[in-house]
Amino acid sequence: MTALFNSSAPIKVGLIGECMVELQQRPDGSVRQTFGGDTLNTAIYLNRLCRDSGIVTDYITAVGEDALSQAMRERWREEGVGDGRVRVLPDRLPGLYLIQTDAHGERNFLYWRGEAAARHCFDGPGAEDLLASLADYGVLYLSGISLAILTSEGRERLLGALAQARSRGSHIVFDNNYRARLWSDAAHARIQYEALLAITDMALVTWEDDVALFGFETPEQLFRHYADCGVREVVLKRGARSCLLSTPNGRAEAMAERVERVVDTTAAGDSFSAGYLAARLLASDPVTAAYWGHRLAGAVIQHPGALIPLHAMPQMPLPGDGASRQRPRVN
């Protein structure tokens, strides 16, 4: 993995998941419509940070033929995210969600996604070319939500295609994003997660999600479990608290930056993952990458919705800037 993330050759990154129609409910009761989804948010922020670097970012999903599906693809292209690996299912529509936020910026989501096109992305003979194309990417990124929304057939086929791509040199990056309501039960979810972790190179883990899914009581338990699964680089996200890192070079802790006013925590984790991955792709060390994640997430939560305006994107630390601010960990 080190050679890839320090390579001077152009890297193709494919992000797998679901883009949905996003409705943001405002205090006066009005609603603003845009688009979002965990891996789509990460794709857009990743491309913003890596623009002009030679890194290619594609979004891999399924959509319908309706006007909203066409509009969301146009939105990706405006952001420089490629849509050449999008499967079109004429009889399907995009999913939809509504964001409600309280006075402290914490959000509540209402979802309508049962018949969404992305759910059937890897079903049937029409998915064979898309599945085979995954091996064309140097990095493949997906989340627990990417897994959860698929049919059983689609999930099994995707896991097989990811394993095949990895055997040919692709690197798998996984953001745990566990949502209990998307799974029949936690036991089934754990089986699917562990099947993916067995072929994962980098894991970006939200602490609360893994506590809910695996029952971990300490970060050490989590790191040990991921090491047993074969994951070499683990980033433990803990919201406004410090980020804990476990890599082949040891453990470290990267402190979060103070945010004066939280408006909306939507996409905080997605943007952190984008910042971290972008820095690693651009050859930064893990600690500096964690500061990229903290800084971007800190900017995102000061704006409403998942995607902040381009002019609000923060300046990122230079390679090595994080080294003086890390807190060493004792193994």
pLDDT (tens digit, 9 = 90+) per residue, 196-212?
Answer: 999 999 999 999 999 99
Residues marked active site are found at 270
- The strand pair at 20-25 and 31-36 is best described as antiparallel
Q: Answer for the pair 164, 135: CB distance below 8 angstroms, yes or no.
A: yes
What's the chain's average pLDDT? 91
- Which amino acid is located at 106 in the chain? E
Residue 128: CB atoms within 10 A of its CB come to: 12
Would you say residue 287 lies in a domain?
yes
Inside any domain, residue 131: no
Exposed e or buried b for every residue in 26-45, given b needs 16+ CB within 10 A? eeeeeeeeebbbbbbbbbbb
Is residue 107 in a domain? no
pTM > 0.85:
yes
Domain count, the chain: 1
241-296 pLDDT per residue, tens: 999 999 999 999 999 988 989 988 889 999 999 999 999 999 899 999 999 999 99
Q: Domain limits at 187?
A: 2-17+39-61+136-328
Q: Is residue 194 part of a domain?
A: yes
Residue 94 falls inside a structural domain: no
Answer for the pair 92, 117: CB distance below 8 angstroms, yes or no: yes
Decide if 77 is inside a domain: no
Question: Is 286 within the bounds of a domain?
Answer: yes
pLDDT of residue 326: 45
Question: So what's the pLDDT on residue 1?
Answer: 43
> Is 33 a domain residue?
no
CATH number at residue 287: 3.40.1190.20
